[in-house]
Chain A
Amino acid sequence: MEEFEPTIVAFVCNWCTYTAADLAGTARMVQSPNVRLVRMMCTGMVDPKYVIKALLSGADAVLISGCHPGDCHYINGNYKARRRVKLLSEILTTVGLDPRRLKLTWIGASEGNEFAETVNELVRDIKALGPSEAASLGAM
């Protein structure tokens, strides 16, 4: 059987993590090909429905990543994301999705290797976890 390759949607902030992802890319750090980057201006604008939408439309995991706490270009957007993700994780459990499928990290602009590590780690975890439960929930 072919190995399960998880698909991950990553909502990354324009200022920090997108830069880190770019750095990871230009430095050719080996990563999973199945990460779809969606650049947002700020993690604070990641509406919970985007996360749910992604998980219900076939993503095996969602990564949200922005500036370190205190370093948000928009003052406090990342704190808003943090609160939202906390609540959202609980909701995921209720609807039958593993909360490990939603991950929030802070990755600064110069931390290309951290981005690579985070993604690789997430891919590893999700591989262990298997395909999303969304399919069996009849969501699609």
Chain B
Amino acid sequence: MTATYDALVVGAGVAGIRSALDLAGTGQKVALIDHSPHLGGLLVQLDKQFPTDNCGMCKMLPLTERESSSQFCMRKGLFHSNIDILLSTRLESLEGDPGQFHAVLRKHASFVDPTRCIGCGKCAEVCPVEVKSEFNAGLEARGAAHLPVPQAIPNHYVVDLDNCVRCWRCYDACPTKAIDFKFAERESFNILVADPDPQTTADLAEWLKKQKFPIEGPVDGNSVLERAAEGKDVRLLILDMSLSDVSPERVLSRCLELNARLPVILTGTPEQAEAARLLEQGALAFVEKPLDRAKFVPWLDKLYMRIVSDEIIEIDAAAVVLAGGFSCYDPSEVADVLGYGRSPGVVTSLELERLVSSTGPKGRGLLRPDGRPARRIAWLQCVGSRDLKKKADFCSSICCMISIKEANMVRRLTAEQEGGPAETTIFSMDLRVFGKPFQSYLDEAKASGTRFIRSRIHSIIPDPADPGAVRVEYLDDAGVLQVESFDLFVLGVGARPPAGMNELARAAGIETNEWGFCKTMPFEPARTSRLGVFAAGSFSGPRDISESLVMADAAALGASRLVNIYAPLRERRPQPEPEFRDVTRERPRVFVAVCSSCPMVESRLDTDALTRRLRAMSGVTGVALVDRACTSQGWDRIIDKAREVDPNRVVIGACMPYAYVPRLHELGKALNLNPALMDVCDVATLTALGGDDGEGTDSEVFSRLRMSVAKLLGADPRPTAQARPASPVALVAGGGLAGLTAALAVADHGYEVHLVEEREELGGLAMNIRRTLDGEDPVKHVELLIDQAGKHPNIRIHTDSRVALHLGRAGRFFSVVNTPDGPVPVEHGAAVLATGGVESKLYEWGFRVHKNVMTQQELEQRLADGTVDTAGLNAVAMIQCWRSRDEERNYCSRVCCQQAVKNVLELKRRRPELPVFVFYRDIMTYGFMEHFYTEARRTGAQFIRFSPDNPPAMEHRDGKTIVSAFDPVLGRNVEVHADLLALASGIEPADHSEIAEMFGVEMDEHGFLKEAEYKWRPVASTKYGVFVCGLAKGPANMEESIAQAQAAAQRAVRMLHEKHLASGAVVAEVRHSLCSLCGKCIEVCPYEARRLSPTMDKIQVDELLCQGCGSCAAVCPNSATILRGYSDRQVLSVIDAALEETV
């Protein structure tokens, strides 16, 4: 049967998860697949992220409808009622058109039945294989039977068949018979041999005797065809290329016609060139003759296990999001110069992440190869990035920040070592700190002691004076050769397309760009070359988390727009809201089910005594011991027993409580009981059973169960309140590129949009740009958007208008827009602020005094309109970072370097011999823009770096500007007599103070609108329900602004979609009779979910905004505020239960 989804998301790293959550949050059914056996992609290996040096992944989880998704650390896992997660699954093919794709997925068998595996680890203990552990970046060995990541829940072992030696020890060791190598099924796996040489069949029959495969043959081509036509049960065909009566090609094509999935193995001599063609036509493999028994038998047996164990899943989906991520460059190919793989002191940045991680390789830590603490650690940037020889003419965008973060982590980790934190040094060409908070992050790193040296080190060699250390040589800024020795040298490895990119691109039918990443469309950063297929995260180019999430939101928006268009054509299953019975007036009846089969508990627990003690507890009406509660059979038994008891509270004692959360919803439906009145209590893991002696296990387990029972006895049984519906209208402030994009995106989902623009014309800053770096025409694009917005039935445009009043909360805002025709009241559920930025102009350095001094943007315009004639120029100078990245405006404006490169290329296109000099601090051509920088340097333009403490000096004489500066490459001062000086003026925020105050959003220290969280909630403002995008949020180029606008629209749509925005089960309430209106809870609430009622006699809680953090309850002096699920009564009785025995 083919399952039907709204969207298929390929890749379950942060971007894929984000897209899936986005789509699920707007009510769409999503299939989320990943080729690896765990969720989280690369992030599971990274404990901390820049620029917060924290994790924060859980901040991605939805804030509304919290009950439909998991509410725990995302490193453990994820569930959402609208998302089906398929791990170890690859996309095999994607047919069909937007709205009705048909995808074939292959789920690779793990050979461990997850419903039986109890995670005891016996299989891994006995496995004789040792291969590099992916999780610990190869720094540790793992077996073929292994746990992919330590912290996932549920956490099942898997067998990696490729590395398996078929010793079957894990099979014998498994206490629950969870491992299945399909031994019995071999006897019915018919192998047909079509080989004129009878010896082959005889050999195979002899070799495979032990496995008991039925082997038939030798047969000729005609009999193969006959058998195929008759539908004989052939499971595998071995087809020799020397078959003479019928051509092997004909046999193959006919067999595949009749059974498209028939595995066909070709045999023959390597000279038989047509084998390659047959492989393309669908043959599974080609094996050279003569067959080598030692190789062929294990290979065939493994192939058999794959064939019978792998699962083919077919699904229909309206749209597809590809979030394949990226992989890290493998520096082994430069081992001879950089020493990677030769000197153990040379590691990659990913390996360093593992070395400093708590879950890193055992016994490694931050040590030199000889075991002494590493005290001098250096990083080398651009290993495998910005390197023409390695076909990597792009910047990986993230490595500079990763290295700074790693230096911070190292310094923190070693802070208490003798002699203080380890010395940290970063060698780089440019420091690409182009994100809004990155410059201050760099400044802090410098202040904390990390050294930054400009050098692309040529080679890293073992230090002859200190074995175990490595030595490098470099020229310092004064041109003096320096020799330094380091204990660890970290290679800041660049990004590469993900492993298996070609296969994925082929399966999904998308094109790749010249660097192998997914190709996207101009002004549609999330669109791939195939309609209906979108790219999220860093699949279309290296990006940090923040931007990956923006791209994930944009991709999700693209997909949901499409789903929306095709929705009327698709059958939608209505999902009735479960209604739970009201148990308010019933006495508590607690049913306790304890899983009894876990070997960790089984051997140590006196189950009879436990049952007796539990039954004796007041309020407990039923106790059941259930065999293997984690399996579906076990679960069914729990449901059956619960039905007998008819409880109104349920406690389940098992291992890994997180794994049960989705099942509680099932149980809730089965018992008609609110899952908020159920609890899963961990009786196996955590602190209890760490020791070898099982003493105290009984009382420990009982005590835990007692705590859970106590908590549920005090639980408030009243049904959770339903929150009100959201107004299905959005307000978009700002009619530039970002505002227009966001308005159209929201309007396409069927919601009404009010687009408010201060000026008389829509279009904003983008109308001043003539060409993008890629050669696209932005004005044409914006004009198209203006036209579409004007004609859109759902969009109301208010130009020459301002928002004059804004009140209310997410889902229910009320604003007044002052238009030339008078005030317009708008009730709306969400707001998008795209109020833009400005090109900053500082009147110094001769700007506006001398005619030949202009901003880079003016130069672009004047080149376009002809008011600057290149024929009359003798030399052009450009100065970058004019007041960007300094004390006043301590951020990189991002777009200026792109603008400079664009102008250089245009000048050089017109007059190749014209001397152009660019004075810069760091050229920020991140990502694929690097390639234009390379091109600009190829044209002969001189790029001269200056340091901020020694900026270029200027003198204006006879209509010329003389720029003098120190050139670190030449090691002396240079003087440029320029006819024209272009200044990179940078981006400044527009004056947002009024709008920020009105909408209640915060501004950052630069005056841009602040994100709720830079990393994980990049387009949310600090006020719930108000989203920010474009230049209002920070400097961004056009593609980035568009992606942000789409992301903001996605968030807005998520908010508007809900007819009934449901709050979570853990939510605060006020007992008004106890409340003294002191207002402490209003101040303390981090979500502004509380306010004094308009009648001034009550504190009101907005259930939608309340996230259940409990700050209010802790601060309330009268215990008038209660957090559902954590009331004082409950917590105090849990404490009592915890301590009962010790009193």
Contacts and interface: CB of A to CB of B under 8 A. Distances in A.
B199 interface: no
Contact of A109 (B73, B1084, B1087): B73
Interface residues of A, number: 60
A42 B1110 CA distance: 7
Interface in A73-126: 73-77, 80, 84, 108-114, 116, 119
Q: What DSSP secondary structure best describes chain B's contact surface?
A: loop
Nearest to B600: A28
B1028 interface: no
Nearest to A68: B54
Nearest to A111: B358
Nearest to B703: A36
Interface in A36-55: 36-38, 40-42, 44-50, 53-54
B1002 interface: no
B444 interface: no
Interface string A3-42: 0000101000011101101111111111111011110111
Contacts of A71: 52, 54-56
A130 interface: no
A3 B700 CA distance: 18
A47 B1114 contact: yes
A9 B1139 contact: yes
Most buried by B among A23, A31, A54, A59: A23
Contacts of B1087: 75
A67 B59 CA distance: 12
B1135 A50 contact: yes
Contact of A110 (B75, B690, B1066, B1113): B75
A140 interface: yes
Nearest to B1123: A45
A46 B1109 CA distance: 10
Contacts of B150: 23, 26-27, 112
B333 interface: no
Contacts of A119: 687
Interface in B682-726: 682, 685-691, 696, 700, 703, 707
A27 to B, nearest CB: 6
B105 interface: no
Interface string B63-92: 000000001110110000000000000000
Contact of B1113 (A33, A47, A108): A47
Interface stretch (B168-176, B400-408, B421-429, B1126-1134): B1126-1134
Contacts of B76: 19, 22, 109
Contacts of A32: 687
Interface in B1086-1143: 1086-1087, 1107-1111, 1113-1115, 1123, 1126, 1128, 1131-1132, 1134-1136, 1138-1139, 1142-1143
B1135 A57 contact: yes
Interface in B84-104: none
B1134 A38 contact: yes
Contacts of B1126: 40-41, 45
A70 B682 CA distance: 29
Contacts of B696: 33
Contact of A53 (B53, B1066, B1135): B1135
A74 B1126 CA distance: 16
B666 interface: no
A42 to B, nearest CB: 5
Nearest to A6: B1142
A131 to B, nearest CB: 10
A108 B687 contact: no
B72 A14 contact: yes
A30 B153 CA distance: 21
Contact of B687 (A37, A41, A44, A48): A37
A110 B1110 contact: no
Given A14-B71, A38-B707, 6 more contacts: A19-B76, A21-B687, A33-B700, A41-B1108, A42-B1109, A110-B359
Interface of A: 7, 9, 14-16, 18-19, 21-33, 35-38, 40-42, 44-50, 53-54, 57-59, 67-68, 70-71, 73-77, 80, 84, 108-114, 116, 119, 140
28 contacts: A21-B687, A22-B682, A23-B150, A23-B151, A24-B687, A24-B690, A25-B687, A33-B688, A36-B703, A38-B707, A41-B1123, A42-B1109, A45-B1123, A46-B1114, A47-B1131, A50-B1135, A54-B1138, A54-B1139, A57-B1143, A71-B55, A73-B1109, A74-B1086, A74-B1111, A80-B1115, A108-B358, A110-B358, A110-B359, A113-B358
What 3 pairs across the A-B complex have the smallest Cβ distances?
A45-B1110, A25-B685, A74-B1109
Interface of B: 47-48, 52-56, 58-59, 71-73, 75-76, 119, 150-151, 153, 155, 357-359, 656, 658, 682, 685-691, 696, 700, 703, 707, 1066, 1084, 1086-1087, 1107-1111, 1113-1115, 1123, 1126, 1128, 1131-1132, 1134-1136, 1138-1139, 1142-1143
